[in-house]
Structure 1
């Protein structure tokens, strides 16, 4: 039985940061457990290829239960099962969220998580090619760069959004979030800079860091009210990897609550129904939030990313780190207000210079473009529960998308704004017709369309939230030696793509653990 100081479960964005930061101390022994394997697939590193990873062996390939607010559909939920986790299969958009998100957390009791508290950790992680200023820094592990694709359809979108009355924003992570523009990306030289590339790879040669790939965590071992290790299966054998100091779950907003519940930490009645001995009665898995996106698709006569994999573009990527293959698909977008009187945006818009339909799984057989508004400050809450006490069973996931009047009004407003942008001259000049859009712009048709074709924006959070499952230092309540560090601890989903906030949280957690 092998023993370490810290055992980290999950080599995703948070786990890579923790493995790297904790192992900086040569006297600390760190074990990192990952169900997937090394991030060697070419499709990971070539940015425009990431949709090819969906439903591959590098994807957990989860599905929700029938979603009551989305016509009873099951929604596809891709999550990375590989070094880097979902940062190895995502769209690489670098967004931190809104100042109001973190100040709201702190005001509700999450001590130490205000915007002023977390900004230093965003900056510590960052190596922004634009250099340092009040909000950004250079020299951190995570490379943040401008797009090296700059597709002409994206230029047309930004012009159209300005024509529709939205102001241009050159930095969504700066003084203000509202506006439209191109996204900055976690790319280095035109290639993906995942958490594995940024944090884990440089640390792999350290003798005090041991990585266990292809190792599936079954449960946390808890003895006398203290987490003492993790039961894992690898190579067909089950073993316990012991932790002298702490076990840290960084398996994500779906898997971390599942592991806690399998370990006896969760809603007592639900655990007892599966014959699981209750260690602590906590609302694990409750409070799930995600961003729900509904994509409008249009045909165009302009060459889209459908033809990105030409020999010329392959050479451009190889020789200059530029061109269509460096596209992250969702190259541009913005943060908008669906109605007046809001303190912060409630809609995020993504624009892709290619068709993106059927939850990103639909075939691309003609040139097109996509506009996807999302509910970026949802009021709906869902849950993650056990399907079975068997560790290889997927959890039951219900997000309850669009089950509140506020969220329904938000997606209707977001779709109407996206249609208004598409009707402006700059886009009308390149759009040749609809590919998949609502029947009309009436509220009823917009909502019906959203319920019919809407999808996850891949940002699940809040299933082990600060204040209900963990304390403000991310320690599981009333269980010694156990923390959760990933998006599940967020009290609510931030306004924007969640990879940067997860990395920030792990940077902060590394300080909390080492203090």
Structure 2
């Protein structure tokens, strides 16, 4: 059994950060375990997410349980399984969320997590290459963040249309205020994806005090009494154990972190006993409080030619796009998953936006290896509430760590989520009907002009809605009986064990969750080092 000061389980958005910061002092030894491979060629190219979204080589390819909110459908739940985790396969949008999100966490009994507390970590992690106010933006961090150019006429037309219905342009939604429409800030620079594998791990791979093992599936945590002392994992079919002299930090993400805790006997005792898992510590909140963004994709046919990538990205057009990417780092191959996004308010009187709209300049269709560009010219606009109240859960169904857990979202179970989803769809319709988009000769495909009442729209949402791949909350931070970790991310009742990833979020942040997950990794590492010094 090898011994290290720290063992980090999961080399994803947060885990890569934790490993980087903890190993910065050569006196500390760190083992970083990742179940997937070192990387994949498509991960370097921004639009490679289209090739990785259904690729079992680097994706866990989970799916949700059938439920009423999805009309009995099993929704795909892709999760990255390689160095960089989901930061290596995601849609590359960089969204911190709004100050209100983090102030709410602090008000829920989590000191040290207000916006004023987390802002220094957001600044520490990023090297923002756009404008903005230095009071809010970081310039010297490892993660390069850029503003894709708004040079495409389609983007300019959508921004103008949004303005015509009262949604102003906001050049920096990660700055002082989130409201408005903007090009999506992106973890893209120098023509390539800025995953945490690239930004946090590649520069430090040769540190002698850091050992990175890929293809290493962590099966269980090890304990001596109420202290976590290490992990058991397999590589190439061989079982191994490693000891942590100081701490084990679980960074598996919102699906794998509660799964590992339950496999190790931490969770709801009755549930674990029924699966033949010996309960070690009762924490009823493990796997609970699951939240995600449930987003219907409105679809629009474009009658005018030349506006969308359905016209410009197929056949010889794809060759031109490849050349544009190679020469200038622009075009289809450099595209964020949704290049335009708008943060809007569902009604007057709100202190901050509560809805998100995102535009994709094409229509796609299912293909044998993932989505592909459709022959019909069109656009997609997804629309959803940003802070849903519906909560689900994730639990293991077997003592076998290779069996996927059951994921139940309970989408639309909270009435306010249904109400706000309908409102978001109506706002999307208003933007698409604005005068600035008249030259495109748009025709609504979905939900379709026949669906006008709230019930008709909701029926369509249940039949067609998808997640935006932002699961959080399943190892929730707090001080109440259903919390899993405290405000310093220590698992309640167990020494030497922390969780640091999106699973600790008490509520969803307002937008994409990759940037907050990286921030959590930064803050977790800082707290670990503070506690070590104390």
**Aligned pair partner of 1:314 in 308, 322, 330:** 322
Rate the CA distance shift 1:3–1:431 in 2: closer, same or farther, 3 A: farther
**Aligned pair partner of 1:502 in 505, 517, 526:** 517
Shift of 1:344: 2.2
Matched, 1:262 2:266: no
Name 2:92's counterpart in structure 1.
92
SS in 1 for 2:70: coil
**Aligned pair partner of 2:336 in 328, 335, 338:** 328
Name 2:47's counterpart in structure 1.
48
Question: 1:25-64 maps to which residues of 2 (within 5 A)?
Answer: 25-41=25-41, 43-56=42-55, 57-64=57-64
Matched, 1:427 2:426: no
Shift of 1:166: 1.0
Name 2:111's counterpart in structure 1.
111
Rate the CA distance shift 1:225–1:15 in 2: closer, same or farther, 3 A: same
Name 1:299's counterpart in structure 2.
301
SS in 1 for 2:525: helix
Alpha-carbon contact 1:148-1:190 (below 8 Å) kept? no
**CA–CA distance in structure 2, aligned partners of residues 219 and 510 of structure 1:** 22
**CA–CA distance in structure 2, aligned partners of residues 202 and 255 of structure 1:** 26
**CA–CA distance in structure 1, aligned partners of residues 343 and 15 of structure 2:** 29
Name 1:280's counterpart in structure 2.
281
- 1:162-221 Cα deviation digits (max 9, x unpaired): 111111111111111111121111111232111111111111111111111011111111
Question: 1:182-193 maps to which residues of 2 (within 5 A)?
Answer: 182-193=183-194
Matched, 1:474 2:473: no
**CA–CA distance in structure 2, aligned partners of residues 461 and 150 of structure 1:** 34
Name 2:504's counterpart in structure 1.
489
Alpha-carbon contact 1:148-1:327 (below 8 Å) kept? no
Shift of 1:342: 2.7
Question: 1:16-415 maps to which residues of 2 (within 5 A)?
Answer: 16-41=16-41, 43-56=42-55, 57-130=57-130, 133-148=134-149, 150-282=151-283, 283-300=285-302, 301-306=305-310, 307-308=312-313, 310-356=318-364, 361=371, 364-415=374-425
Alpha-carbon contact 1:289-1:462 (below 8 Å) kept? yes
**CA–CA distance in structure 2, aligned partners of residues 362 and 324 of structure 1:** 12
- 1:82-112 Cα deviation digits (max 9, x unpaired): 1111111111111111111110110110110
Structure 1, unpaired ranges of 5+: none
SS in 1 for 2:69: coil
Alpha-carbon contact 2:88-2:195 (below 8 Å) kept? yes
**CA–CA distance in structure 2, aligned partners of residues 217 and 35 of structure 1:** 7
SS in 1 for 2:14: helix
Question: 1:431-442 maps to which residues of 2 (within 5 A)?
Answer: 431-438=441-448, 439-442=450-453
**CA–CA distance in structure 1, aligned partners of residues 153 and 206 of structure 2:** 43
**CA–CA distance in structure 1, aligned partners of residues 184 and 251 of structure 2:** 27
Shift of 1:357: 5.9
Alpha-carbon contact 2:93-2:337 (below 8 Å) kept? no
TM-score between the two structures when normalised by the length of structure 1? 0.97
Shift of 1:72: 2.0
Shift of 1:256: 0.2
Shift of 1:139: 1.1
| Number of aligned residue pairs | 514
Query: What is the aligned-residue RMSD (CA, Å)?
Result: 1.6
- 1:255-296 Cα deviation digits (max 9, x unpaired): 100000000100111111112111111110010011111101
Deviates more, 1:431-440 or 1:176-185: 431-440
Alpha-carbon contact 1:297-1:356 (below 8 Å) kept? no
Name 2:463's counterpart in structure 1.
452
Alpha-carbon contact 1:149-1:325 (below 8 Å) kept? no
Shift of 1:39: 1.9
Alpha-carbon contact 2:94-2:514 (below 8 Å) kept? yes
- 1:140-161 Cα deviation digits (max 9, x unpaired): 1000101147433222211111
